Structure 1
């Protein structure tokens, strides 16, 4: 605040009436208070405010005119204002008006000369409060609209992905795929992410390409056209293709549906018993994972997502199952080799590593299935942590159980795989024993094993035993 340099010389003997009129004109509300906080006089800057409050404030205590939340600030004003030589501090008080509403006022206060009185000059904040409330209401409206759009998009995504009918969204100008649902991805035999941006017609035989181009041209020009029969490359099944234009923002896209002419079960809706079976598998307490022939995940149920500590199936889809198995590069290769040779695996013991570093002892049973020309694998993953023998540290496998596991592999997988599996098992057990002897002092464990510390850290990470960084180690 900048005051007059010489107020006595500049203002002279300013009359009391002139000062009162000036204060009333410059403020919205001006109060004269005694030291006990009783209102001795009041002035209003406009008639509207005067009629809104009335004349009943004179003689009342200031604390009786404000809300309970503001009474502590009134006491603070009455305590501090008499000691101020300049009105440099502000207090916001919420007054109660006869209409029942609250009126926020911002006051500055100071004592009146040598008297025991206080003058409080206030600025009405109702206009600013109304503007702030309008801003808050507008923000809430935007948030409601945003969440409504998010919910609509979620419903669309759920319907688009859960329908058993093959559906694709195409760019009408280029004929390229913009979006594809899982049913269409399975039908075309290509991962959904790899289909985005590729020409739709490239997946059909030569006789179908001309029909598809004619169909898309007709939809672009007239918005409707007859359905056409098409055939995928290197397949004999015929599909009925329909297309319709849809609007998205300011662009037009094409929605294409593929349905088998002969009622092929790959895209036909599931009957009631099969639908119930699928729902039960999705809610099963054991983890269930469906993968491609190379181990990349196509689908996973909620139990597996909980084991891997994932929040949605999208985080797992397209990733290799090897990412979460206990021995990267070993377990999945053994499982797939066994599935290709025998078609099934039972009670394969390993661990599941979550994305947050925790490990869970599991048993995996798996089966191979042929869907058209594509081979896929199904894995049932059971949590067996409660079966771990007492005294076995968490995340570490007991020796007799590992030997039994290796014995079951004999005759079912090549000897080279069995030898590699047993070597890894022995190496891991030796590392675990060294860590137990040294109380998890890795520097000492490396000396016991005849390894450098760096080599030990590499092996710890390989077997999922690393739970601390090298900086956390205690040197001997």
Structure 2
């Protein structure tokens, strides 16, 4: 007898077509469905058509220790916080029998009553009988992570504000320091920052600009000495200052200190005038400086481009500036003269003649307050640095107090043209109107043989108007006459 050793093929495993409507949790073994639901969610609730919880499963041990209020046999709405009850009602009402609802955040109550557990639920229809399975995920870990992120962000904000405050203090000290300070990149030997005191000492803005060569500010004979000091500062903790000569000829004492920041190496260089080259002035010159500082009239010194180099306190008061640093570097044309007229004319006369006296113009303060002023100026071209000096005197009060009647009027067109550049066009037009009126009255009186009645008729005026104008211009002998 022959025995067949061919084993029969095993029967095919049952497969579920998830595309068919019948592919629901009911197609699985109930225990398998419960395990799958527990693994995929932190908590699962089985809810009947009346909204009552019939069963639940917890897959997160941490959630099991959360001490939730009893769930089985109670309505789901009664187990959540007041702020979540309308969400639960909407979820139960909107979930289709064979469909899926949307995710909603729900606060489940704890037994103590003063704490809640934040869960994110999604409802799934479990059949035509109205049962619903609510799948929830614990958001406490996410909330804790968000809280840590918020705390980290707030800490960064506090650190940022402290850095901003420290940078502001550093910038204020760096800019207002009277000592010349230069910061040099030790790798490239180029400037990173230069404070205003150093720029004034060196006297060449182009040589101290950002990324300019460090050696460019020194006399060729002192460049090797300055470079050797930088090299010594990089290799030793302390180095002795050395005497150097700047490109402008000034003798200075140079010191250097090495420091590191953001994985880069920098050298802080300080320059001080040498003892023999200190700017010591004679007693007479010092008294002159003190007088100019206390002068009641505004005094200002500019370069040939009208950038302010020095000023006294009266100029700061007239310009309504709080600090000298607010004036330094600004153009005097910002404050002086009518735009495009007075300053150009003033500078043209100053360059041609070397000095200008009693030039009438206006002065605008920082807040655009306008004052009538007189300017006297001088050009200094043979000094160490060519410059202009201006004395500015306010005359607005004097002009207001001057009587309008009886002032001397120009007698000819030539005298009128001489007013150009001294007064405004409006004033010139007013002066010319008065001049023409007076000349016409004088001609009419001469034509009529000083007959006032005939002169008034010739001019087309009443006798009263003519007498008023005669009084205003001071023409004729009007004593004892009645208009």
Same fold (TM over 0.5): yes
Bigger Cα displacement from structure 2, 372-381 vs 210-219: 372-381
Give 1:333's aligned residue.
344
Counting only pairs closer than 5 Å after superposition, residues 115-264 of structure 1 correspond to structure 2 as 115=129, 117-191=131-205, 195-235=209-249, 238-262=251-275, 264=279
Contact 2:337 2:362 in 1 (8 A): no
Contact 1:204 1:231 in 2 (8 A): yes
Q: Provide the C-alpha distance between the structure 1 equivalents of 2:26 and 2:86, rounded to a whole number of angstroms.
A: 38
| Deviation at residue 80 of structure 1 after TM alignment | 2.2
| Deviation at residue 315 of structure 1 after TM alignment | 11
Are 1:362 and 2:378 counterparts?
no
Bigger Cα displacement from structure 2, 92-101 vs 173-182: 92-101
TM-score, with normalisation over the residues of structure 1? Answer: 0.59
Contact 2:66 2:110 in 1 (8 A): yes
Q: Deviations over 1:113-142 (max 9, x none)?
A: 344554322122333333333333333344
| Deviation at residue 211 of structure 1 after TM alignment | 3.2
Are 1:422 and 2:430 counterparts?
no
Q: Provide the C-alpha distance between the structure 1 equivalents of 2:333 and 2:85, rounded to a whole number of angstroms.
A: 66
Contact 1:35 1:116 in 2 (8 A): yes
Are 1:31 and 2:31 counterparts?
no
| Deviation at residue 161 of structure 1 after TM alignment | 0.9
Q: Provide the C-alpha distance between the structure 1 equivalents of 2:60 and 2:129, rounded to a whole number of angstroms.
A: 28
Q: Provide the C-alpha distance between the structure 2 equivalents of 1:339 and 1:97, rounded to a whole number of angstroms.
A: 90
Give 2:479's aligned residue.
none
Aligned residues: 368
Q: Aligned pair in 2 of structure 1 residues 209, 103: CA closer, same or farther (>3 Å)? A: same
Q: Aligned pair in 2 of structure 1 residues 244, 124: CA closer, same or farther (>3 Å)? A: same
Contact 2:207 2:217 in 1 (8 A): no
Contact 1:167 1:257 in 2 (8 A): yes
Q: Aligned pair in 2 of structure 1 residues 35, 5: CA closer, same or farther (>3 Å)? A: closer
Contact 2:119 2:137 in 1 (8 A): yes
CA-atom RMSD, angstroms?
5.2
Q: Aligned pair in 2 of structure 1 residues 315, 240: CA closer, same or farther (>3 Å)? A: closer
Contact 1:331 1:350 in 2 (8 A): no
| Deviation at residue 182 of structure 1 after TM alignment | 0.5
| Deviation at residue 288 of structure 1 after TM alignment | 12
Contact 2:203 2:248 in 1 (8 A): no
Q: Provide the C-alpha distance between the structure 1 equivalents of 2:140 and 2:326, rounded to a whole number of angstroms.
A: 51
Give 1:53's aligned residue.
67
Counting only pairs closer than 5 Å after superposition, residues 84-95 of structure 1 correspond to structure 2 as 85-95=98-108
Q: Aligned pair in 2 of structure 1 residues 329, 48: CA closer, same or farther (>3 Å)? A: same
Are 1:294 and 2:305 counterparts?
yes
Q: Aligned pair in 2 of structure 1 residues 153, 221: CA closer, same or farther (>3 Å)? A: same
Contact 1:295 1:332 in 2 (8 A): no
Contact 1:290 1:379 in 2 (8 A): no
Q: Aligned pair in 2 of structure 1 residues 297, 117: CA closer, same or farther (>3 Å)? A: farther
Q: Aligned pair in 2 of structure 1 residues 163, 315: CA closer, same or farther (>3 Å)? A: closer
Structure 1: gaps of 5 or more residues: 267-273, 279-286, 385-400, 408-413, 427-476
Q: Provide the C-alpha distance between the structure 2 equivalents of 1:78 and 1:324, rounded to a whole number of angstroms.
A: 76
Q: Provide the C-alpha distance between the structure 2 equivalents of 1:343 and 1:326, rounded to a whole number of angstroms.
A: 14
- 96, 116, 120: which is aligned to 1:106? 120
Q: Deviations over 1:224-250 (max 9, x none)?
A: 322122343454x53222111121222
| Deviation at residue 264 of structure 1 after TM alignment | 3.8
Q: Deviations over 1:392-439 (max 9, x none)?
A: xxxxxxxxx9xx9xx9xxxxxx9697289639998xxxxxxxxxxxxx
Give 1:454's aligned residue.
none
TM-score, with normalisation over the residues of structure 2? Answer: 0.58
Q: Provide the C-alpha distance between the structure 2 equivalents of 1:63 and 1:367, rounded to a whole number of angstroms.
A: 90
Contact 2:179 2:197 in 1 (8 A): yes
Q: Aligned pair in 2 of structure 1 residues 208, 147: CA closer, same or farther (>3 Å)? A: same
Q: Aligned pair in 2 of structure 1 residues 416, 102: CA closer, same or farther (>3 Å)? A: farther
Contact 1:339 1:345 in 2 (8 A): no
Q: Aligned pair in 2 of structure 1 residues 170, 12: CA closer, same or farther (>3 Å)? A: closer
Structure (1 or 2) with the larger CA radius of gyration? 2
Contact 1:335 1:345 in 2 (8 A): no
